[in-house]
Amino acid sequence: MNLRRHLPLFLVPLALLAGGSLVAQQAAPANLDLQPTVRIGSKAFTESHILAEMAAQLLESEGYRIERKLGLGGTLIAYQALQEGAIDLYPEYTGTISQVILQQDRLSSRDLVQALAQKQLQLLPAFGFNNSYAIAISQILAEANNISKISELANWPTLRPGFSLEFLNRADGWLALQKAYQLPQRASGLEHALAYAAVASGQLDITDAYTTDGELDAFSLTLLEDDRQFFPRYDAVLLARSDLAENARAILVRLAGKIDEQTMRRLNASISGEQLRPAQVANRYLQQQQLLPGTGVHSVSEPQFAPTLSQRIWRNTLVHLKLTGLALLFACLVAIPTALLLFQHQGIARGILYTTGLIQTIPALALLALLIPVFGLGELPAIIALFLYSLLPIVRNTLTGIFGVDPLLKQVAAGMGLTPGQQLRKIELPLAIPMILAGIKTAAIISIGTATLAAFVGAGGLGEPIISGLTLNDHALILEGAIPAAMLAIVAELIFEGIERLIVPRHLLN
């Protein structure tokens, strides 16, 4: 095989994937900082989106430029982003701040403010409602078994609990609740947006809920009385950096005390019931409260010419290609030369394999969270995480391909007087090409799937509509991201198969 002649074909898939980077950058609008900029984040659930949109639209109405970093996953990612300056503020709850962030039980308001000040953070005045955690079961189950209190669950050990992953592991979550109430059940974890439907359909019996969730009525769920006062108050606030502009703080104070629990529950319900977006719900409520200038005018958060479905898919696909393409390109540039340089030192080669294998064992979302303190939010931590995940299949297949060359061929080459470098270039590397190409293909397909989680750190891509769809219980949005991601994986598979047929001799493929 003439390796030099086929090298351009070998690099075609990398060029196609990485090329999305340039197109995506050209498609993005110019970033003009003509006005003060405030970066606002939210967690990945409906209420957090709505509250973040209220803050964003209120500041926009006063001339601030807003960067939205919405749907940042759980508390860890959002708080890390705030601490590192990737965002300036996000909606949070006093109980979560006390028990999860500060890891102190039931701090007073004064102690809470002082503890946050030491971390260069501040609390803005509360919205006016307490959104406490609660335990929910189906109304039918509650009435049939006369269950109205959490303590009564101890009498029903066969009930099947399923909790959001955050509640399952947080300090004021399931383990502490189970200990406080002496509950015998064993719980499983799942995405919060899926839990209510699972309880309503009878697949689960118990789940965690927020007292202001709009889906409680839609799924006919009953909240059990916290008869031992386990859950603290979770007053909704804006948690901000201390360096937030004083004028921005004065504007956001207008939201203080404007929302009670019933109102928040109604706002949340309008997402699932009326199929509205958080931006629309926030805008409508702000205008009802006369907090925006020009009541009835066009929403400041919604562009006059909203992108069509095809435009959204195209934009998200380009970003997805950018993330996966750059990560795969860098992984090839690092993994293949490293494996070729060190394959003769089997001890070192095994160490590299073990190291890259260990990286694969780290859950993608955990790895993204660990990268935030160093690289912040956005595309960079996502590309680095995908790069790390791509190393193992490329390194492993490169080493396997080199080690798999028939020793007799190596002996013949040595007998012909070829140097080790010449053996590698003329015999070992050409014969290893099928395995190397298979490793790159595997890395590409893994990256395409894993990149959907990049939206949790504000990197965008096809994961953005998937996560938004889970948050809003919108199956059309989920498919908007899932189908193109699946198509990308299929296209990547076909491209690599075509390249294999072009550059690899048939007898090596059979």
* Stated pTM of the model: 0.72
For residue 363, the 8-state DSSP code is -
Q: What is the mean pLDDT of residues 188-200?
A: 84
Residues 115-171: pLDDT tens digits?
A: 999 999 999 989 999 998 899 999 999 999 999 999 999 999 999 999 988 888 887
Q: What DSSP line would sit under 283-328, residue for residue?
A: HHHHHHTT-SSSTTSPPTTS-SSPPPHHHHHHHHHHHHHHHHHHHH
Confidence of residue 382 (pLDDT cuts 50, 70, 90): very high
374: pLDDT confidence band, cut at 50, 70 and 90? confident
Burial track 111-124 (b if 16+ CB lie within 10 A, e otherwise): ebeebbeeeebbbb
- In the block, residue with structure tokens 């303190």: 373
What is the phi/psi pair of residue 122, to 5°?
A: -145, 155
Tokens of 464: 């953005």
DSSP state of 97: I
Rounded mean pLDDT of 261-283?
88
pLDDT band at 195 (very low <50, low <70, confident <90, very high): confident
Domains, the chain, in order of start with CATH, read 3-24+308-509 (1.10.3720.10), 35-130+234-288 (3.40.190.10), 133-223 (3.40.190.120)
Across 185-209, average pLDDT: 87
pLDDT per residue as tens digits for the range 489-503: 999 999 988 887 887
Angstrom distance (rounded) from CA 91 to CA 209: 18
Given a cut of 90, whether residue 51 has pLDDT beyond it is: yes
Confidence of residue 33 (pLDDT cuts 50, 70, 90): very low
Tell me, what's the pLDDT at 302?
46
> What does the pLDDT read at residue 363?
84
136's CB contacts (< 8 A; 6+ apart) are: 196, 199, 206, 207, 208, 209, 216, 221, 222, 223, 224
Q: What is the pairing mode between strands 65-69 and 37-41?
A: parallel
